[in-house]
C-alpha cells in the first residue's frame, strides 16, 4: 500500500477515506481491494454504487456522507485522539501485513508505540490468582525491552497491562469506541494507559462492544505483535482465537502451562501440545522471539494442523486494468454458481474457471459490495445467504 | 542372553549365579560381560580372581560363599518370594534391554506381571493435592489396559499405586529389601500390592534403602515400562533421573503440565519443553504409546539434548575367544592410561588404541573386577580413584 497517500495528504483525503470505511458492505478486505483497483479513495467511493449494481444488488449501498465523516473526525480530534488509515506512514507495519488489517484506527496516546516491537499477553477473564500473578510478572519483565499489548479485559489482560505499566509501556486494544469504558470497572485503567501508552479502537465513537466486536479486536492484537503469550485459556475461548489469528499471521506463539485439572488451562496446554513455546519466564519468550513476523528461515511449528485455514496469504490485490470486457463477462457468469456458504479458496475459483486472478478479483469485489459474498481469512470466500 | 540356562535349570545354577551377583566388584554390567565371555556362571565365578589380579588388584575380591547364596535363596523362598536372573525365560524382556539390567530380582506377587505391557507414573514426594488426584485418576484409567509401575514413594507414587489398584494391576519397585517396609507408612500398601500385583526388589533382604539405592530402583522402573509419565517433578529430582534413564532406553516420555509458579512443576514442564508429550488425560498417553520401546520408525523427540550420554547402547558383549594373546597384552598396556575420572566412550577407546572391541572389552572386564574402572550409562567408562 506504499503508493497510497499518507496522512499528511490532509483532512480532505481523510474525510474521503473515512467515508469509504464507513460505507455499507465495505469491510477491511473490500477497502483494500478498492484502493488497489482505483487511483484513490475518491475514485473508489464514486465507483461503489455501479460495482454493487453489477454484483447484483437491488438498491445502492448506503454511503457515509461527507458531513458524517467530518463529524466523526472532529469528535475524535476533540477527544484528543489521533487517527490513521491503512497505508499511512504511521500505520503499524506488522498490522498492515494482516490480510484484513483495519483500514482505520483511532488512538488515544502515543501512536508511535504501535510500531514498536511488541508482545501480546492475553488469557482468561475468570483467571486464577496464580495466573494473574504470572501475567503481571511476565509483563513487567518483558516491558523492560518490549511493548506489551493486550485487550483490557478482566483477568489476565488487566494483570498484563498493570504489570507492563510498572516497568514500561503498554497498548490496550479495545472492542468498542474510544469514548466507551468497557468493562466499566477498567475506566481508570483505560485512562492511565491512554496517558502512558496507547489505547487503540477500530469501532466508531460511541460503540458499546457486543459479541462481534471482540474477534475484530483480537485480530488487531495478533497483528500488532511479533509474539503472543497465552495464559489460562479455556477451550473455544477468545484467547485461543487470538492465538490462531497470530499463528496464521506468522507470529510466534507462547503459552503458560497449567494443571490438567483446571479447565482454564486446557486451551493453553493444548497450544503447547500443538507447538507453542512452553513459557514459564520472560526468558522463554525472549529466547524464541523472531526479529520479524514470519521471517524467512524461521522454523514454524506445526500449529493448528487441523484448523481450516493455513498461514495468512495476502488477498488478491491485482488491479483489473488489463482485464478485458469479455473476460469480465465470463467471470461474472461463472463465479456466482461456484460460491456456497462453505468457504472456498480464491485460487481454487480462478483455477476452476480458468480465468485470470485479476478478473476473479474484480468480480469478487462487485459481489462483496453487493453483499453477496464475504471474504474470510486464508484468502477464502463464501456466499452470504440472501436475507 | 538367550543361550543362558533359564530358571528351570535348577537350584544349583541359581546358587552359583547368585554368588556371582553378590561378588565384590561385580555390578550389573560386569555380570553381563562375564556371562557373555564364559560358558556359564560356574566358569565365570572361577575366573574372577585371576581376572581381577591381571586387572591390577592387590588382594582377591571377596566372593560370596555357596552357603551365603543358599541362605539368601532359602530366606526368599520362606518369605514367599520368586527370584529371577537376567537370561531367565520369565525375566521381563524390556528390562533385559537395559545395558545395566539387574542380574537378579526378587519378586513378591505375580512375576508374569513384570512382562506385561506397562506404563510408569512417578513424581514428587511432596506432591500437591491436585497432583495426587491427577496421578490417581490417570493410573485408574490407564490400569484398565496397562500395568502401572511406580516406586512406592510418598506423594505421586502412592497415588498412582492406589489409583491402579482400583481398576487393574500395579507393580511397586522398591529400593530396599523385600522384607523392609519403606517408607514405613506404606507397609500396608506394600503388602496389598504384593497380594494383588507385584513388589520387585534388587537389594538383598534386610536392606534398609539409603541414597544410592534409589537411582538403581529408578532404572528398573524405566526398564520395565514402554512409557513413563512424570507428574510434578522439581529440577534435579529423582523423577527426572527416571525420565532420563527411560529416554535413554528409548521409552516414550509423558509429563503433566503445571503452574510456572510452582517449583514442583518446573522439572515436568521442562520435560515437555524438551519434547515429552504434554499429558492431561489417559488418552494423551494411549495415543502416543509405542508398541515396543525404541521401535524402528518411531520418531524420537530430541529430548535431553544437553545430557552427557546419548540413547542407550548395549554394552560390548563380544566374547574374546578369538582375541590373541598379543592383542590382549597391547590392550592391557594401552587402555589404563586413557582412563580418567571423566567418562569416555568405549568406542572411543577402541578407536584410539586401534584395537578390536573384543580386546578392549576383555581388558575393561579385568579392570572392573579389579575395582579400577566403572561402567556408566551410554557405554562409557571412568576410572575409579584409588582409595
Q: Kindly determine whether residue A280 and residue B266, on different chains, have CB atoms separated by under 8 Å.
A: yes
Q: Kindly report the average pLDDT of chain A as a whole number.
A: 88
**Backbone dihedral region of A155: left (phi > 0), alpha (psi from -120 to 50 degrees) or beta?**
left
Q: Contacts of residue A261 in chain B, CB cutoff 8 Å?
A: 130, 133-134
Report residue B302's pLDDT band, with 50, 70 and 90 as the boundaries. very low
Q: What is the dihedral of CA B296, B297, B302, B304, to 10 degrees?
A: -20
CB atoms within 10 A of CB A293: 21
Does residue A340 sit at the B interface (CB-CB below 8 Å)? Answer: no
Q: Contacts of residue B284 in chain A, CB cutoff 8 Å?
A: 273
**What is the SS3 assignment for B105?**
strand
Over residues B192-211, the mean pLDDT reads 97
Q: Kindly determine whether residue A257 and residue B261, on different chains, have CB atoms separated by under 8 Å.
A: no
Over residues B370-380, the mean pLDDT reads 83
**Chain A interface test: which of B259, B265, B281 (most A C-beta within 10 Å):** B259
Over residues B355-379, the mean pLDDT reads 86
- B241-300: pLDDT as tens digits: 999 999 999 999 999 999 999 999 999 999 999 999 999 999 999 999 987 776 443 344
Does residue B260 sit at the A interface (CB-CB below 8 Å)? Answer: yes
Integer angstrom CA distances of residue A188 from A194, B65, B374 = 10, 84, 68
Integer angstrom CA distances of residue B7 from A129, B11, B109 = 59, 8, 17
**Chain B interface test: which of A257, A273, A274 (most B C-beta within 10 Å):** A257
**Chain B interface test: which of A278, A282, A302 (most B C-beta within 10 Å):** A278
Q: Contacts of residue A259 in chain B, CB cutoff 8 Å?
A: 130, 134, 256-259
ipTM: 0.78
Does residue A192 sit at the B interface (CB-CB below 8 Å)? Answer: no
Q: Which of A305-314, B4-13, B120-129, B287-296 has the lowest mean pLDDT?
A: A305-314
Q: Kindly determine whether residue B257 and residue A261, on different chains, have CB atoms separated by under 8 Å.
A: no
**What is the SS3 assignment for B108?**
strand
B82-141 residues touching A, CB cutoff 8 A: 130, 133-134
Give CA–CA dist A134/A278, Å, rounded: 14
Does residue A269 sit at the B interface (CB-CB below 8 Å)? Answer: yes
Cα Dmax for chain A: 65
- B264-278: pLDDT as tens digits: 999 999 999 999 999
- B40-84: pLDDT as tens digits: 999 999 999 999 999 988 888 899 999 999 999 999 999 999 999
A39 or B170, greater pLDDT: B170
Nearest CA in chain B to A263: B280
Of A257, A266, A279, the CB nearest to B258: A257
- DSSP labels, B222-243: HHH-SEEEEES--TT-HHHHHH
- A274-294: pLDDT as tens digits: 999 999 999 999 999 987 776
- Whether residue A309 has pLDDT greater than 60: no
Nearest CA in chain B to A232: B259
What are the cell numbers at A336?
456466482
Calculate what percentage of chain A has a pLDDT beyond 70.
89
Over residues A59-81, the mean pLDDT reads 95
Of A134, A273, A277, the CB nearest to B278: A273
Q: Contacts of residue A280 in chain B, CB cutoff 8 Å?
A: 260, 266, 269
* pLDDT attached to residue B43: 94
Q: Is A184 exposed, middle or buried (0-12, 13-18, 19+ CB in 10 A)?
A: exposed
Q: Kindly determine whether residue B257 and residue A280, on different chains, have CB atoms separated by under 8 Å.
A: no
Q: Is B80 exposed, middle or buried (0-12, 13-18, 19+ CB in 10 A)?
A: exposed
Amino acid at each position: 500500500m506504499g503508493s497510497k497517500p499518507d496522512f499528511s495528504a490532509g483532512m480532505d483525503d481523510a474525510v474521503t477515506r473515512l467515508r469509504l470505511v464507513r460505507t455499507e458492505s465495505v469491510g477491511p478486505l473490500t477497502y483494500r481491494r478498492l484502493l488497489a483497483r482505483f487511483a484513490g479513495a475518491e475514485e473508489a467511493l464514486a465507483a461503489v454504487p455501479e460495482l454493487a449494481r453489477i454484483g447484483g444488488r437491488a438498491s445502492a449501498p448506503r454511503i457515509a456522507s461527507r458531513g458524517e465523516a467530518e463529524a466523526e473526525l472532529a469528535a475524535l480530534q476533540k477527544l484528543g485522539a489521533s487517527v490513521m488509515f491503512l497505508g499511512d506512514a504511521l500505520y503499524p507495519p506488522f498490522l498492515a501485513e494482516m490480510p484484513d488489517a483495519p483500514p482505520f484506527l483511532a488512538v488515544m496516546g502515543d501512536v508511535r508505540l504501535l510500531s514498536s516491537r511488541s508482545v501480546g499477553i492475553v488469557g482468561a477473564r475468570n483467571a486464577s490468582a496464580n495466573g494473574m500473578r504470572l501475567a503481571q510478572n511476565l509483563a513487567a519483565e518483558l516491558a523492560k525491552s518490549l511493548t506489551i499489548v493486550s485487550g483490557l479485559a478482566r483477568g489476565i489482560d488487566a494483570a498484563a497491562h498493570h504489570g507492563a505499566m510498572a516497568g514500561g509501556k503498554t497498548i490496550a486494544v479495545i472492542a468498542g469506541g474510544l469514548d466507551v469504558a468497557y468493562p466499566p470497572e477498567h475506566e481508570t485503567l483505560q485512562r492511565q494507559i491512554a496517558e502512558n501508552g496507547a489505547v487503540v479502537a477500530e469501532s466508531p465513537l460511541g460503540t458499546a462492544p457486543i459479541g462481534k466486536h471482540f474477534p475484530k479486536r483480537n485480530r488487531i492484537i495478533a497483528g500488532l505483535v511479533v509474539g503472543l503469550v497465552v495464559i489460562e485459556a479455556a477451550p473455544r475461548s477468545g484467547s485461543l482465537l487470538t492465538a490462531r489469528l497470530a499463528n496464521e499471521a506468522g507470529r510466534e506463539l507462547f503459552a503458560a502451562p497449567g494443571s490438567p485439572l483446571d479447565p482454564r488451562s486446557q486451551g493453553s496446554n493444548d497450544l503447547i501440545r500443538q507447538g507453542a513455546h512452553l513459557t514459564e519466564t520472560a526468558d522463554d519468550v525472549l529466547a524464541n522471539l523472531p526479529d520479524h513476523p514470519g521471517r524467512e528461515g524461521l522454523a514454524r511449528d506445526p500449529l493448528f494442523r487441523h484448523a481450516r485455514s493455513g498461514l495468512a496469504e495476502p488477498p488478491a490485490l491485482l488491479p483489473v486494468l488489463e482485464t478485458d470486457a469479455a473476460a469480465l463477462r465470463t467471470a461474472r457468469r461463472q463465479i456466482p454458481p461456484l460460491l456456497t456458504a462453505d468457504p472456498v479458496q480464491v485460487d481454487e475459483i480462478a483455477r476452476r474457471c480458468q480465468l485470470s486472478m485479476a478478473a476473479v478479483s474484480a468480480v469478487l469485489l462487485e459481489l462483496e459490495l453487493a453483499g453477496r459474498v464475504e471474504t474470510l481469512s486464508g484468502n477464502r470466500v463464501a456466499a452470504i445467504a440472501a436475507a
